[in-house]
Chain A
Amino acid sequence: MNVPENPEGRSRVPPTPWRIFIELAKINTVTLGGGYVIVPVIGNTFEKLGWINEKDFYQVFSRAQVFPGPIALSTAFLVSYRVGGVIGAIAAVLGVVLPPFFALILVGGFISLYGNTLLFKRFLAGAGAVVPGLVASMLWRTAKNRKWTVRTAIEVIVFAVALAAFTSQAFFILLGGIILLYVGRLIWKS
């Protein structure tokens, strides 16, 4: 596989599947706040270990965004494939999936024990109440960082209205809509 030579000449840890698993598991246990927080941490860690340089990492990251699924998973998968081959990629999946899984099992157990107490219900209601606000700020940040044209604005609005109007069919609308946009642009360009 593509084991990168180490540009700085530092002694480096070989990217064995076990090591890849451990590094990713550590990151995924302690990092809160979603994919775009985790990805730079993965990048820094892999760079420090001498497995990949920054430019290559962000190249892989930009490729990872074309795939569905959590961005932390796709980035970890593709980067680990690059540094550790097929077994490395499998190790990466386990490293991303297992720590949150066990954390959630603990939380789930906790909720089944205390979920019915009034105090805990109030906590959950309060925590849930801010969620729409957080989504709105995500929308704001994404919209701000995009280059808008009349065309893209119309596309987004039509797409969103279709989704909101036929919520129960969201899956097919999304799948069809993304394919339609891609094919449409392909034909437009040619």
Chain B
Amino acid sequence: MEILSVSLAFFKIGIVAFGGGWSVVGLIKSEIVPRWMTADAFNSLIAIAQSTPGPIALNAATLVGWQKAGLFGALAATFSVIAFPVLAMSLALAFAKYIPLKKSIADESLRTGSMAMILMTLWTLLPQTTVAWPWIFTLVAFAVTAFTKFNAVWIILGSGVLNMLIGVLH
């Protein structure tokens, strides 16, 4: 019943997936590592999910579903992650008049929530090692994407190729 537990995990992720791609990553990790994959495999998965078209949470769902239960697993996981958001929006459109949500307060709460999620994501993803090279990759990637307008996708692909070349040279 792998397919059901993967779907349930991604359904839960869909409920609290606020604040743009990266903030959700820590939450995804808390649901699937170490249950279904190792921390290193997870980092690679996120790199793939980010450098392919489409939202990161959706792509991660498709990949994990595919790995665990093939094509149907991928379909089930992908539609599970959007199930709650689509339901919530449909209900909001249908019953907008009756929902007394204070938008500015909700915005402020969600901003705090998503900042906390990004912090958690960073905390759980930091290299669990004192070996220098993962830290160097991390710091260079931070410096380049934080202070220039360089697209993150090129950083991901570039460092993949770089690491491949280093392997060939050794």
Q: Which residues from chain A sit less than 8 Å from chain B, CB to CB? A: 28-36, 63, 65-74, 77-78, 81, 89, 93, 96-97, 99-101, 103-105, 107-108, 111, 118-119, 122-143, 146, 152, 155-156, 159-160, 163-164, 167-168, 170-171, 174-175, 177-178, 181-182, 185-186, 189
Contacts and interface: CB of A to CB of B under 8 A. Distances in A.
B105 A160 contact: no
A77 B160 CA distance: 34
A100 B66 contact: no
Given A104-B62, A124-B160, A132 B101 contact: no
Contacts of A163: 26, 116-117, 119-120
Interface in B81-96: 81-82, 84-86, 88-90, 92-93
Contact of B145 (A28, A125, A137, A143): A137
**Among the interface residues B67, B71, B117, which one has the most CB atoms of the partner chain A within 10 A?**
B117
B170 to A, nearest CB: 10
B155 interface: yes
Nearest to B167: A122
B102 interface: yes
B112 A155 contact: yes
A33 B52 contact: no
Closest 6 CB pairs of A and B: A100-B54, A126-B163, A69-B85, A133-B141, A70-B55, A128-B43
A176 B106 CA distance: 14
A129 B79 CA distance: 29
Given A108-B66, A131-B141, A139-B122, 15 more contacts: A33-B151, A74-B85, A123-B160, A126-B137, A128-B45, A128-B47, A129-B127, A129-B159, A132-B127, A135-B122, A136-B122, A167-B124, A171-B27, A174-B16, A185-B105
B83 to A, nearest CB: 9
B133 interface: yes
B17 to A, nearest CB: 5
B167 A118 contact: yes
Contacts, number: 314
Interface of B: 12-18, 20-23, 25-27, 29-31, 40, 43-59, 62-63, 66-67, 71, 74-75, 78-79, 81-82, 84-86, 88-90, 92-93, 101-103, 105-127, 133-134, 137-143, 145-146, 151-153, 155-157, 159-164, 166-168
9 contacts: A28-B53, A32-B153, A70-B57, A70-B85, A100-B59, A133-B142, A136-B142, A142-B114, A174-B113
